[in-house]
Amino acid sequence: MKSPVSNESPKTPGAKRTDKETAMKIHALEETNEALKTLLARGEDDKKLMEDKIKSNVKELVLPYVDKLRLTGLTIEQQTYLEIIETTIKNVFSSFLQKITSKQYHFTPKEIQVATLIREGKTTKQIADIMKVTRSAIGLHRHHIRNKLGLGKAKVNLRSYLLSLQ
């Protein structure tokens, strides 16, 4: 005796209903997918607009004061710090900072600071003076930065490599 398991053929009314329901679900998922794509694109547009507004505000409201401060007879050390502040402000939205601060590299805040100064063309001695640490401490940071970037002992100029991270 055969078991009472139902094996409906595709021509039975139950199978047609199942196919129709499946097609409706697929159509609903496709519509949802399109709606999500539209929302994602709109979110990206909103993000870009916000970045542009912030850049404009910084350019018009902050940088003029940096320029005025530069004209006030600063010491060499103060001029250096002001230059770093100005460069950092201008680079807030750069892809370099976004890459270097991403979790993929696991840079410490000091390593990010050192990498940024290296990219700006500062020497180890200048960086050590700016950060008020020894040259060997900067050398150690450079070593860690190279390792985290996958450069190791490769004969690659660190500044050139950092400049290429656009």
Write out the chain's pLDDT in tens, 166 residues: 544 554 445 556 666 778 888 988 899 999 999 989 889 888 888 888 888 888 888 888 888 999 999 999 899 999 999 988 988 888 777 777 778 887 788 899 999 999 999 998 999 999 999 999 999 999 999 999 999 999 988 889 999 999 888 6
- Residue 148 to residue 145: CA distance in whole angstroms: 5
Instruction: Classify the C-alpha dihedral 138-139-141-142 as positive or negative.
Output: positive
Predicted TM-score (pTM) of this structure: 0.61
Token output for 149: 């970037």
- Residue 37 to residue 142: CA distance in whole angstroms: 42
